[in-house]
Amino acid sequence: MSSNSQDIRRAILARWHENLSKYGNLFSSDSISGSSPPSVFVGSYNYPKVFVGPMVPPVHGDTSLLDNPEKWAGKSLEEIVNFRLNLIRGIQKISIEQTEGRYIENLQEITMSSKPADSDLQFTKTTSASVSLDGESAPFGPIGEIKSAKFHATSATKSIEKIFYDKDLKAQDAVLNLYNSGIDVSKIQKCFSIGMLGQKRKLVPTKWSITATDDIISKSLTEEILNYSLIDSYKVFTYEHLGNLFSVVLFPHRWIYEMIEAWYSDGVLGFGSDFEDARGINHHPAIAGAYFAAKLGVTEYLEKNKIQSGVIILREIRPEYAIPVGVWQVREGIRSAMRQTPLVGETFDDALTLASKKMSISKPEWLSKGNILKLIRQKTIADFF
């Protein structure tokens, strides 16, 4: 990464250490008492026996903002990093098959809670307030192995409670039911992760549950979109946040979708892309998390407006995105882009010119790294019927 990224990380870390000089005793302790947003985390290390537990800040009250990405629009990178660092993560090693028992059931109650849940954790040893920030992994606050835990769950969210007790419902249908009930995607992902959905339940590492939830919902929306009339213009939506610049191009075509990402690593430009047609993605995705998160954001727009189109999304990851904070920011970035007033191009080529105008990467470069022109030249699904 460039020195710019390193400078940003150093500045954020310096201010965090300044904060610790005043409140460090809250983060270095053998116990914690606070209100979980509510938040739970399931790790992937040592799968299928993984580290599972609540995330709790050392304060009581309305802490919901600390783990609610849908409410983070307009927040700075430092603010979001601090949300993560302020959550102390309690862990116990649990088999992914263990979705019952007092500890897991308590975590499930917290997850379905309609507001922050007071929690008291005792750790086997004092937690360390020392954290590191890099350009590769998402930030985490202190971690402590739980010796004992007490949770005080609040009233449950009724639609989640209903799904939780319906063990005849498949996990996919449970996800869609919750989504159509208006439950935030980030909340559904937590329910999926902590083994609350489906017939054959198991714990799912958080990062996997995030992508699975985005995939299930966006796939369902795509099936609806295939029934709609084609868009009749070339629209370009752009949005920038947290050092990420997004351009979304909609164009008259049966559903085809490609996302191309570009990033800088030690001054060298790297690219990644994935694509699909109406039959869905037919290869192992290279940029899986971001691909499905962005797909969800754009398919929501198409379904809401009852239109079908071809879609290409360009994402330039600039050095200012010095600390990755999760693929939620791609989903929310695309959602925000689709709420902007679009530019309108005369042709597909014109639309791509508009899409790449504010980017440091040229239109020919984007096209050379993707497959969209090949997809357009191929037969559409309608040609097979």
284-311: burial string, b at 16+ Cβ within 10 Å, e else: ebebbbbbbbbbbbbbbbbbeeebbbbb
DSSP for 251-314, please give it: ESSSSEEEEEEEEEETTEEEEEEEEEBTTB--S--SSHHHHHHHHHHHHHHHHHTT-B-EEEEE
Largest CA distance in the chain: 69
* 3-state DSSP assignment of residue 87: coil
pTM of the predicted model, to two decimals? 0.94
Q: Is the pLDDT of residue 381 over 80?
A: no
Give exposure, 152-185, as e/b (b: 16+ Cβ within 10 Å).
ebbebbeebebbbeeeebebbbbbbbbbeeebeb
Q: Is the peptide bond between 38 and the residue preceding it cis, with omega within 30 degrees of 0?
A: yes
What are the CA-CA distances from residue 246 to residues 67, 277, 315 (Å)? 23, 21, 5
Asked whether the predicted pLDDT for residue 77 surpasses 90, the reply is: yes
In which band, very low, low, confident or very high, does the pLDDT at 135 lie, cut at 50, 70 and 90?
confident
Q: What's the pLDDT tens digit per position in 326-367? A: 999 999 999 999 999 999 999 999 999 999 999 999 999 999
Which tens digit of pLDDT belongs to each residue from 147-180? 999 998 789 999 999 999 999 999 999 999 999 9
According to the model, what pLDDT value does residue 384 have?
Answer: 40
- Of 2-11, 75-84, 276-285, 343-352, which gets the smallest average pLDDT? 2-11
Q: Which long-range contacts (CB under 8 A, 24 or more apart) does 263-266 make?
A: 263/316, 263/317, 264/1, 264/2, 264/317, 264/318, 264/319, 265/1, 266/1, 266/2
| Among candidate residues 331, 343, 252, the one with its CA nearest the CA of residue 298 | 331
Question: What average pLDDT is seen over the chain?
Answer: 94
The pLDDT tens digits of the residues spanning 213-239 come to 999 999 999 999 999 999 999 999 999
Instruction: Quote the CA–CA distance of 217 and 220 in Å, as a whole number.
Output: 5
Average pLDDT over residues 43-63: 96
Q: What percent of the chain has pLDDT over 90?
A: 87
Q: Which residues, at least 6 apart from 230, have a Cβ–Cβ distance to it below 8 Å?
A: 252, 253, 254, 307, 308, 309
Q: Over 60: is that where the pLDDT of 385 sits?
A: no
